[in-house]
Chains A and B, each alone.
Chain A
Amino acid sequence: MADMITYREAVAEGIAREMRRDASVVCLGEDIGEAGGVFKTTAGLWAEFGPERVWDTPISEQAIVGAAMGAAMTGMRPVAEIMFSDFLACCWDYIANEIPKVRYMTGGQVTVPLVVRTANGGGLGFGAQHSQATENWALTVPGLKIAAPATPADVIGMMAAAIRSDDPVVFFEHKGLLASKGTPAPPEHVVELGRAAVVREGADVTLVALASMVPVALRAAARLAQEGVEAEVVDLRCLVPLDMSTVLASLGRTSRLVTVEENPYQGGWGATVVSVVADEGFALLDAPVRRVAGECVPLPFADALEEEVIPTVDKVVAAVRSLAAY
Chain B
Amino acid sequence: MDSAELLARYEQMVVIRRTEKAAHDLFLQGLVKGTTHLAAGHEAIAVGASGALRDDDYVFATYRGHHHALARGATPEECLAELMSRATGLCGAKGGSMHLTKASTGMLGSYAIVGAHLPMAVGAAWSARMRGSGQIAVAFFGDGATNIGAFHEALNLAAVWKLPVLFVCENNLYMEYTPIADVTAVDRPAADRAPAYGIPGEVVDGNDVVAVQEAVAALARRARAGDGPAVLEAATYRHFGHSRTDPATYRPAEEVERWLKHDPLDLARGRLTELGVPAETVTEADERARDVVHRAVEAAKSAPPPDPREALTDVWADGGAAWRT
Residues of A within 8 A of B (CB): 26, 52, 55, 57-58, 60, 62-63, 65-76, 78, 93-94, 97-98, 102-111, 113, 142-143, 165-167, 194-195, 240-245, 276
Contact = CB atoms under 8 A, between A and B. Distances in A.
Interface residues of B, number: 54
B123 A142 contact: no
A243 B127 contact: no
A62 B160 CA distance: 16
B313 interface: yes
B157 interface: yes
Interface of B: 58, 60, 89-96, 99, 101-104, 108-109, 111, 113, 116-128, 130-131, 137, 149-150, 153-154, 156-157, 160-161, 313-317, 319, 321-325
Given A62-B153, A105-B95, A105-B96, 10 more contacts: A66-B119, A68-B123, A71-B123, A73-B123, A76-B126, A103-B316, A106-B94, A106-B95, A110-B108, A240-B323
A26 B130 CA distance: 9
A55 to B, nearest CB: 7
A73 B119 CA distance: 12
A127 B89 CA distance: 50
Contacts of A104: 94, 314-315
A75 B323 contact: no
Contacts of B153: 58, 60, 62-63, 66
B122 A66 contact: yes
Given A67-B122, A94-B116, A73 B317 contact: no
Contact of B124 (A73, A97, A103, A245): A73
Given A71-B127, A75-B127, A242-B323, A103 B314 contact: yes
B324 A276 contact: yes
B124 A55 contact: no
Contacts of B161: 55
A70 B121 contact: yes
Nearest to A28: B126
A254 B19 CA distance: 64
A73 B123 CA distance: 9
**Among the interface residues A52, A108, A113, which one has the most CB atoms of the partner chain B within 10 A?**
A108
Contact of B150 (A62, A74, A113): A62
Contact of A244 (B94, B127, B313, B324): B324
Nearest to B137: A70
Contact of B149 (A58, A62, A65, A143): A62
* 3 nearest A-B pairs in the assembled complex, by CB-CB distance: A70-B123, A66-B119, A166-B317
A198 B112 CA distance: 43
29 contacts: A58-B157, A62-B149, A65-B119, A66-B123, A66-B153, A69-B119, A69-B120, A69-B123, A70-B127, A71-B123, A71-B130, A74-B127, A74-B128, A75-B127, A76-B126, A98-B113, A102-B101, A103-B314, A103-B317, A104-B314, A107-B90, A107-B91, A108-B314, A195-B325, A241-B323, A241-B324, A242-B323, A242-B324, A243-B325
